[in-house]
Amino acid sequence: MGRIYGLETEYGLIARTRARDGGWRRVSADEAARLLFVPIAREHATTSVFLPNGGRLYLDVGNHPEYATPECATIADLQVAERAGDDLLVALAERARAAEAAEGRDTEFTLVKNNVDSFGTTYGSHENYLVGRDADPVHLAAWLVPFLVSRQAIAGAGRWRRGAFTVSQRCDALAEVMSSDTTRSRPLINTRDEPHADPRRYRRLHVISGDSNLDEATARLRWAATELVLRLAESGRPAPIVLDDPLAALRAWGRDPEPAVALQRRYAALAAEVADGLDADLDAWQRGTVTPEWAHKRRLLIAYRDRHHLADADPRLDALDLRWHVLGSGPDGRPAGLARLLEARGELPRLTAPDAVASALQVAPGPGRARLRGRLVAAARAHGRDVAVDWASVTVHDLPASVALDDPFADADPRVDALVEAMGARPRRRPLGGFVPPPA
């Protein structure tokens, strides 16, 4: 069986509006989220929309804007889809700013791709891996838990807060190893059995412990290393490593990553037998040639601290840490965030092609059922159909007709062809929506 990947990213949002005295007033988080989604709510009477590219844009619990990528059959496609999601949210913020301006208000929106705000509220970057129904969850966890605890050493985004640095943004927030809850307990692995596919054939491994990455090389290694460990687990080999207290190790290694680096080397050494198609990633993992995002960030922060003779607890360092994660452009047209600025200067590698990212805003990746969903969504929007869309089904209420999409690998289906044709045969006069047009 091949693999299907997906990523759900929750974004931080900061908004401020110009007061009558000319100063700026901070907008509450709830109000900022409402304003961000005003253009969508006006057009589609909802704040949750599936898109013609197969992905989903919505407001999550806690009023965090969230983008779920379409299902992807390769890590390369997934990275393109993730970057397209970033661009989509930036475009949404610009639309919201324009909507505010049309009402005579000067409101600025800042999108932040991180995992914890200044109050300590945490939000996630949730990875999805399709596995077979015959995969034993206990066996998978035996392989994955020590790996995920130590993975922060190679894939963490880093956090500087009040003079203390951790290599992961999430290492202090996670409270359980495994749980079916994603809000109160915050586990490494979510165990809720919700495959979004035929439950007789598939499971969805839902990893919610990772950091949101802006460095694409770090993100690539994060996915590739996890894929390789999954292959090892699926081969039936016994798990080689057991941690007495995974959560204690998670916190300790967040501050001192050396033990985690050593553990990652052990996993990388085992992965040579299952590296088909990922040989370059395995080589980078084994030799440690990818500088993790947290190391790039820490180097920049330390240089700034030393240049300006700041104390470690100086709040300017916390502000600079936040600026690392900002998306979009500033008034001068340059990237507003430090990570994207370093990428533009060639100091961080970019793996995704801009043309591919622009295309991914419009077109679903393939092979896979995202293409089928994307076709149905596009047809429904074009012909004004009244539809309900989910990951594994699309229902056209006004025909009425429904198609189950329970095979994540399928990218051709005569039922979809027939439904697209039926939607076009009797188009409605006005769009009923549920879908936000991708930005031009």
CATH at residue 232: 3.30.590
pLDDT at 429: 52
Q: Percent of the chain scored above 70 by pLDDT? A: 96
Q: How far is CA 432 from CA 5, 343, 377, 415, in A?
A: 31, 41, 12, 22
CA angle 303, 307, 308 (to 5 degrees): 120
- Tell me the average pLDDT across 185-213: 95
Whether 314 maps to a domain, the answer reads no
Range of the domain at 394: 366-425
Co-location of 33 and 157 in the same domain:
yes
Q: Could you tell me the pTM of the whole model?
A: 0.95
Query: Once rounded to an integer, what is the mean pLDDT over residues 85-93?
Result: 97
The pLDDT, as a whole number, for residue 398 is 87
**C-alpha neighbours within 13 Å on the C-beta side of residue 146:** 19
**Residue 203 confidence (pLDDT):** 97
Q: Are residues 261 and 409 in the same domain?
A: no
Residue 132 is inside which H or E element, if any? strand 125-132
> What pLDDT, on the 0 to 100 scale, is given for residue 437?
46
> Is 352 in the same domain as 405?
no
Same domain, 272 and 153: yes
**Pair of tokens at residue 247:** 């959560």
Q: Cα–Cα distance between 224 and 75 in angstroms, integer?
A: 7
Residues 5, 118: Cα–Cα separation, whole Å: 31
Beta bridge partners of 167: none
On whether residue 411 sits in a domain, the answer given is yes
Q: Is the pLDDT of residue 202 over 90?
A: yes
Residue 434 resides in a domain: no
Asked, for residue 432, whether it belongs to a domain, the answer is: no
Domain boundary (309, 328, 358) is at 358
Does residue 350 sit in the same domain as residue 371? no
pLDDT band at 430 (very low <50, low <70, confident <90, very high): low
- Is 156 a member of any domain? yes
Listed range (174-183, 201-210, 285-294) with the worst mean pLDDT: 174-183
Tokens of 27: 């907008």
Q: What pLDDT is attached to residue 431?
A: 55
> How confident is the prediction for the chain on average, in pLDDT?
94
The arithmetic mean of pLDDT across residues 95-107, rounded, is: 94
Alpha-carbon distance 233 to 235, whole Å?
A: 5
Same domain, 81 and 168: yes
Beta strand spans in 303-396 (E): 387-390, 393-396
pLDDT value at residue 257: 98
Residue 107 counted as domain residue: yes
Check whether residue 344 and residue 389 sit in a common domain. no
Distance CA 435, CA 45 (A): 10
Same structural domain for residues 277 and 174? yes
- In this structure, are 205 and 78 located in the same domain? yes
Q: How many domains does the chain have?
A: 2
Catalytic residues: 60
pLDDT: is 265 or 119 the higher one?
A: 265
Boundary of a domain, candidates 307, 323, 358: 358
Which tens digits make up the pLDDT trace of 219-273? 999 999 999 999 999 999 999 999 999 999 999 999 999 999 999 999 999 999 9
Q: Are residues 269 and 390 in the same domain?
A: no
In-domain check, residue 300: no
Mean pLDDT confidence for 198-226:
98
Residues 149 and 224 in one domain: yes
Mean pLDDT of 203-213: 97
Decide if 94 is inside a domain. Answer: yes
Same domain, 379 and 343: no
